[in-house]
Structure 1
Amino acid sequence: MNQVDKSMKITLILTTIICLLPILMGVFYYKELPNQLAIHFNDAGKADNYMNKPLVIFGLPIFLAVLNLFTQFRLVTDPQKANYPKVLLNLFRWLVPVISVGCMTYIIFFALGKDFHIGNIGSIVLGILLIFIGNYLPKCHFNYTMGIKLPWTLNNEDNWNKTHRLAGFIYVVGGVIILLSVFWPTVYITLGVIATIVFIPMMYSFVLYRRGI
Structure 2
Amino acid sequence: YRTKIVARSQNNKMHTIISWSIPLGNNILLSYIFAYGLGNHINITSILLPTIGILFIALGNYMPKTQRNRLVGIRIPTALNNDINWFKTQRIGGLMFVVGGFMMIGGGFLGMISEFWTIALMILPLVLITVVPIIYSIRSSHKA
Moved over 6 A (4+): none
Residue aligning to 2:76:
150
Runs of 5+ in structure 1 lacking a partner?
A: 1-73
Normalised to the residue count of structure 1, the TM-score between the two structures is 0.58
What are the superposed Cα offsets for residues 95-127 of structure 1, whole Å, 9 maximum, x if unpaired?
Answer: 222222222332233233232111111121122
User: CA separation in 1, counterparts of 2:34 and 2:110?
Assistant: 27
Partner of 2:114: none
More helix by share: 2
Structure showing greater Rg: 1
What residue identity is the alignment partner of 2:70?
A: Y
CA distance in 2, matches of 1:100, 1:126: 12
Partner of 1:134: 60
Task: Name the structure 1 match of 2:142.
Answer: 210
Aligned length: 137
CA distance in 2, matches of 1:135, 1:153: 19
Matched, 1:124 2:56: no
Give the aligned partner of residue 124 of structure 2. Answer: 192
SS of the residue corresponding to residue 153 of structure 1 reads helix
Question: Percent identity at matched positions?
Answer: 29
Displacement of 1:171 in angstroms is 1.5
Q: State how far apart, in whole Å, the 2-side matches of 1:143 and 1:83 are.
A: 9
Q: Partners of 1:83 and 1:149 in 2: how far apart?
A: 16
Give the drift of 1:83: 2.1
Kindly report the root-mean-square deviation, in angstroms, between the aligned alpha carbons of the 2 structures. Answer: 2.0
Which moved further from structure 2: 194-203 or 113-122? 113-122
User: 2:33 aligned to 98, 107, 114, which one?
Assistant: 107
